[in-house]
Structure 1
């Protein structure tokens, strides 16, 4: 049985990653609400414990997991450590004495407790001394609703507010001004502001190398000379080629030898990875991790379903799909300044062509839009059963890459 789950990052006021909300669905055809909350929680816990390690899904950050009253009564939360999860009480759970007793018990055991999609009712005040986080749906709540919640929790300094479904920079900034501590949504994958950001020399060198390696027949001599004139780039190449991912039989003595050892496919991967890493150095680390996950996800799918799209191009295109957020400018402006192949530019700028479908699919998967994802896979003629494994592999691979290049 396949384990289907997506994750959404949760950031703090410094845009540092604090955890992920895990989103379960029973396959890409059987989408919510055809499965009830009790089964979703139990299947998610079962899958993360026995099918795919929770730490691999979350990178050892806390997992925010939804719990119904029934799953709390059955003690499912205590199957995981207090530092592994945040217990989210679903908005459909009605406040009552039984829920209050369970909340007190979990709090005494050391668990972090959150109220999901909170709508203020005075009865919840009995729970406030035991609550750590209140999640506010920014799309569904008016400013008056939000202010009512802020006023209600003021006497409880133990409670931190989390703004979820924050999809624009303006929403994020408003939530910051209102005093929210945590943020969940896709605001960081949109440009924060449109401004000019020139590429420094090292990044221009990487852009040049990306172009050179995007051709069918790579000019190894020319690429070697580019590396040899940048000591920092050469150091990172040697460090990368010496990582545990590559089982070398001989020591590397030249830049050219390092390039030969890696091979064309890995060189392309290394350069696109390094380019994105340098551009996002002043951005949330999660943005870099998301770029890498997207790239590997697309690459694996292209490899498993050979057709009109080269896996290397799928990798590069999906990795570059967050350049607007990384450079804080419109994607159309970004692609005009990069020496990328035209079909890659069209995919990034206009979301057209076969390469664009990989970006669309990975975004749908990230947001757990399973019905849309299923339609996209049908259009791409992909085998839906391979997608969850590809996503999990991509997460694991991205975490390894971060360690290798940083």
Structure 2
């Protein structure tokens, strides 16, 4: 089953812009192919195997996982491998018409799993559904905002949480948030938050760019330390990222000099890229930053399968830079003019071409629900199993970085 499916994801936001989880969907190579219960079990076991650890438990912490489901999936043994409190199954209203599905829903609810109702007309929704579901999908209709506000206000009195789908602008997000909706799914992970701040690099970003150029040229560590001392906060944040669980170091790094001695210059460059993004005051949003980190790590892991360590590390930088224009609130050409990048990285950023372009495009496609995922994976000779494993590993890694 995992050989015939690609995992696609969309982040889930709360009213405070925090990423509280992900919605997973499955893209089949052959959309018309039948899916058996053993196939579903295999798929669930694969995903759970990459998101659970015998010692650490669920590797995405308190994140919620919304899984698109059909009645067959409700009976899959592999579902038991997912922590009930973190798992919500999205089920279309049409499936509730059968007694077998209702029985399965009741059983899963008793075990603590969430159920999200899809395809229901909220304005005429029968309250009897509320006994079976924890969440309900709603869609914002800007032309009928007043009546929607009344309906959502009524729903807010119940225990059912409202999930807004297709929220593609921050204006819609603010409107839904004002209506009391609980979480949001849309294209906000690729959209800068509108800001009145001037679209120029701030002093911290200027310092970081200087450090990146010095690292690229292997400048003396004492020179690097002199620059870092201008902004003590940068040094603190840099060491916090390096010591995060995402890097897997056994010894805590105490200083910039210690970091260079242990890691070398190349890994230091990647962390400066992350710092550059987090230092933004224009267009910044937590979900955009997390998406950039996931994309960078995802592309890097894919590259590790086919190229050298240094080349794969360059893919991380390409992934981060691919969203840096939105994070910084600057045109891509301005971002590229501010720092010298390898030509192969620039090719990938500008046209998704060259050595790195296909890997970056592939990582990008998995967050766009793109039908091109299969053909892109074939172009770089990466199996769906390896692609899905890299995707899940990147999510776990990024969660550790963001939590640092």
Q: Which moved more, 1:143-152 or 1:17-26?
A: 143-152
User: Who is 1:115 aligned against?
Assistant: 117
CA distance in 2, matches of 1:35, 1:12: 35
Q: Report the counterpart of residue 17 of structure 1 in structure 2.
A: 19
Kindly report which structure 2 residues correspond to 1:7-406, keeping only aligned pairs within 5 A, or say none: 7-25=9-27, 30-36=29-35, 41-50=40-49, 52-53=51-52, 58-72=60-74, 80-119=82-121, 124-136=126-138, 151=151, 154=154, 157-193=158-194, 195=196, 196-214=198-216, 217-221=217-221, 222-237=223-238, 245-247=248-250, 255-279=256-280, 284-306=285-307, 310-327=311-328, 329=329, 331-332=331-332, 335=335, 338-341=338-341, 343=343, 344=345, 347-348=348-349, 351=352, 353-369=354-370, 371-382=371-382, 385-403=385-403, 406=404
Moved more, 349-358 or 271-280: 349-358
* CA apart distance, 1:7: 3.0
- The verdict on how the C-alpha distance between 1:50 and 1:79 changes in structure 2, with shifts beyond 3 A counting, is closer
Superposed displacement of residue 206, structure 1: 0.7
Matched residues in 2 for 1:331 and 1:37: separation? 48
Secondary structure at 1:301 match in 2: helix
Name the stretch that deviates more: 162-171 or 146-155.
146-155
Between 258-267 and 64-73, the greater mean CA deviation after superposition: 64-73
In the superposition, relative to structure 1, how do residues 396 and 361 fare at CA in structure 2: closer, same or farther (>3 Å)? Answer: same
**SS of aligned partner of 1:366:** coil
Instruction: Say if 1:163 and 1:175, in contact at 8 Å, map to a contact too.
Output: yes
Answer whether contact 2:11 2:287 (CA < 8 A) is retained.
yes
Distance 2:383 2:75 in 1: 38
Bigger mean CA offset, 204-213 vs 155-164: 155-164
Q: Which runs of 5+ in 2 are unaligned?
A: none
C-alpha change, 1:271 and 1:67, in structure 2 (3 Å) is same
Q: Secondary structure at the match of 1:127?
A: helix
- Post-superposition shift, 1:50? 4.2
Matches of 1:178 and 1:349, distance apart in 2 = 40
**Counterparts of 1:238 and 1:122 in 2: how far apart (Å)?**
54
Return closer, same or farther for 1:178/1:194 CA change in 2, 3 Å cut-off: same
Q: Is the 8 A contact 1:224 1:255 kept in 2?
A: yes
Distance in 1 (alpha carbons) for counterparts of 2:355 and 2:93: 40
Q: Secondary structure of 2:84's partner?
A: coil
1:25, distance to aligned residue in structure 2 (A): 4.4
Say whether the 8 Å CA contact 1:11–1:183 is kept in structure 2: yes
Give the length in aligned residue pairs: 392
For residues 133 and 236 of structure 1, what CA distance do their matches in structure 2 show? 37
| TM-score, normalisation: structure 1 | 0.78
Report the Cα distance in structure 1 between the residues aligned to 2:152 and 2:253, rounded to whole angstroms.
64
Residue 240 of structure 1, CA deviation: 5.6
1:111 Cα deviation from its structure 2 partner = 3.6
Distance 1:59 1:286, change over 3 A: farther
Residues of 2 paired with 1:271 and 1:80: CA distance?
Answer: 35
Q: CA deviation at 1:205?
A: 0.8
Given that 2:7 and 2:27 are in contact with CA atoms closer than 8 Å, whether structure 1 keeps it comes out as: yes
Distance 1:146 1:163 in 2: 16
Whether the aligned pair in 1 keeps the contact of 2:10 and 2:185 (CA below 8 Å) is yes
Which digits, 9 at most, give the CA deviation of each residue in 1:121-164, with x for residues without a partner? 957442134433211356xx795699579738826522332122
